[in-house]
């Protein structure tokens, strides 16, 4: 139960300087939010506005207002709650499951539980930390500093295939194939319930929820978020759950997880999207115990990036790779098959 507000001890927030900018002498007057959006990499107008509203952007030592127009020689400081982090990636001897490798690229089968790249809260132990240990001089995409080799990513608790660029020559063409949606990506997911149809397509913008910024919502009217398309079909019906195949036409954050919840069939044991509760079936103790055993066996969302198909940027050969279901996923699937067969 949440404590009454007066019971919380007031704590002073520690802020860290991330940017210090002295305005050039020849700079013409311009609103500070527009100025910082153009000056700072990854900054957006909304993020700058939020920082101004929070009082963490200072001009000449005082909190700025959003309509303030900068002047020559102004000193602008941007403060944030998190300390600044060096973008250098620490090489770590992490074993990698390499499915394919040549002089230009490699295919890695990422286990569930491994974060793809360093970020706040996960600076070590990531796939990228392992990559820079085993492969030196990996290229970086512009605007993607600290993520060498990456042209796409999958969630921490999603298992499966990733393509990694080893050279500058291959990075841009691979990224272009993702941008133009010509990469063939197939996912396997175990979802709650049985869809009425055997196949279908979800078309609905995916964007961050106003209630929880970590969660993505679907906006079918296109009012928010980004265009997203997921094609799905049922592979196995198991009365209480279904094994489905998802093919992505776009690649938005949490796209499959958000789209399947939108359809009323959240991924099995997906805590962020409501799949970690019994969504279909009885309330009998035996059934509840069975479901909990499945949760314990696979303590993550039931999602696996099974296949990747694309054109090799150098040889122009059509490549296709598959990764079998990992033991936790296949074990849970077997449990459900046995349960519905002998129930």
**Beta-sheet strands, E only, within the chain:** 16-22, 57-59, 62-63, 75-80, 98-101, 105-110, 159-165, 184-192, 199-203, 205-208, 216-219, 229-238, 241-248, 303-311, 318-322
CA-wise closest residue to 232 among 242, 223, 240, 222: 242
End-to-end CA distance of the chain: 38
CB neighbour list of residue 8: distance below 8 Å, 6 or more residues apart: none
Mind telling me the catalytic residues? 155
For residues 127, 141, 231, 306, the Cα torsion angle rounded to the nearest 10 degrees is -30
Phi/psi of residue 56, nearest 5 degrees = -105, 10
Largest CA distance in the chain: 80
- Measured distance CA(236)–CA(268) in Å, rounded: 14
Instruction: Answer for the pair 267, 256: CB distance below 8 angstroms, yes or no.
Output: yes
Instruction: Answer for the pair 243, 250: CB distance below 8 angstroms, yes or no.
Output: no
């Amino acid at each position: 139960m949440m404590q009454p507000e007066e019971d919380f001890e007031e704590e002073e927030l520690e802020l860290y300087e991330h940017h210090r900018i002295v305005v050039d002498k020849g700079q013409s007057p311009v609103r500070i939010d527009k100025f910082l959006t153009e000056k700072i990499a990854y900054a957006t107008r909304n993020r700058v506005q939020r920082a101004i509203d929070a009082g963490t952007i200072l001009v000449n030592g005082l909190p700025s207002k959003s309509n303030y127009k900068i002047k020559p020689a102004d000193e602008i400081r941007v403060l944030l709650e998190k300390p600044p982090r060096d973008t250098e990636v620490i090489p770590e001897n992490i074993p990698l499951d390499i499915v394919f490798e040549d002089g230009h690229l490699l295919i890695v089968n990422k286990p569930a539980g491994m974060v793809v790249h360093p970020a706040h809260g996960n600076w070590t132990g990531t796939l990228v930390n392992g990559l820079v240990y085993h492969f030196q001089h990996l290229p970086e995409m512009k605007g993607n500093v600290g993520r060498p080799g990456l042209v796409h990513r999958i969630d921490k608790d999603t298992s499966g295939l990733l393509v990694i660029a080893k050279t500058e020559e291959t990075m841009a063409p691979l990224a272009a194939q993702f941008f133009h949606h010509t990469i063939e990506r197939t996912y396997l997911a175990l979802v709650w319930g049985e869809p009425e149809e055997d196949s279908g397509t979800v078309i609905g913008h995916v964007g961050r929820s106003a209630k929880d910024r970590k969660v993505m919502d679907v906006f079918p009217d296109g009012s928010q978020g980004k265009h997203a398309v997921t094609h799905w079909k049922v592979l196995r019906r198991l009365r209480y759950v279904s094994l489905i195949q998802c093919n992505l036409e776009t690649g938005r954050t949490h796209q499959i997880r958000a789209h399947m919840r939108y359809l009323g069939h959240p991924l099995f044991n997906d805590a962020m999207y409501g799949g970690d509760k019994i969504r279909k079936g009885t309330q009998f103790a035996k059934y509840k115990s069975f479901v909990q055993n499945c949760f314990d066996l696979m303590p993550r969302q039931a999602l696996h990036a099974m296949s990747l198909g694309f054109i090799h940027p150098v040889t122009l050969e059509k490549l296709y790779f598959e990764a079998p279901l990992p033991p936790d996923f296949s074990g849970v699937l077997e449990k459900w098959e046995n349960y519905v067969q002998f129930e």
